[in-house]
Amino acid sequence: MRKINLIVVHCTATPEGRDVTVNDVRRWHLQRGFKDVGYHYLVRLDGSIEAGRCLEEPGAHCRGHNRESIGVCYVGGCDTNFRPKDTRTPQQRQALVLLLRELKNKFPGVKIAGHRDYAAKACPSFDATREYRDL
């Protein structure tokens, strides 16, 4: 297993209420030239969690940090006009906390941050670093 010291939280940058699957995101990423879906986990609108890229493989989600990180993405992150908006459903909020706690237990000392902390983007449309600092 590779060394993990960071979890980066993302959004799919899709409009509020539009559900997508890990296979949809995989298709988008393959069209962009990735070898697979870039994220390790996708949290759907109903709170279900779909596995993406194998944890043993570095992701393709945060330039300069893929080797040592896990990419966690929730579906949404935009309003109907594609402006950044925290669109997490109550089920997604709960599932994200459970998943992030599980990953922190598996990888002690891991830091949780939002994609926006490493790129000039709004992603994940909320301050993940602040929100998850006490997990």
| pLDDT tens, position by position, 91-100 | 999 999 999 9
Do 63 and 119 form a contact (C-beta atoms < 8 A)? yes
Active site residues: 10, 39, 115, 121, 123
In degrees rounded to 5, what are phi and psi of residue 9?
-95, 135
End-to-end CA distance of the chain: 23
Report the distance separating Cα 38 and Cα 31, nearest Å: 12
Other CB atoms within 10 Å distance of the CB of residue 88: 23
The mean pLDDT value of the chain amounts to 96
Other CB atoms within 10 Å distance of the CB of residue 113: 21
Residue-range domains of the chain with CATH: 6-130 (3.40.80.10)
- The average pLDDT across 11-15 equals 97
Residue 40, pLDDT > 90, answer yes
Q: DSSP letter at 84?
A: B
Q: What local confidence, expressed as pLDDT, does residue 114 receive?
A: 98
Report the distance separating Cα 49 and Cα 26, nearest Å: 15
- The average pLDDT across 34-44 equals 97
Q: What local confidence, expressed as pLDDT, does residue 1 receive?
A: 79
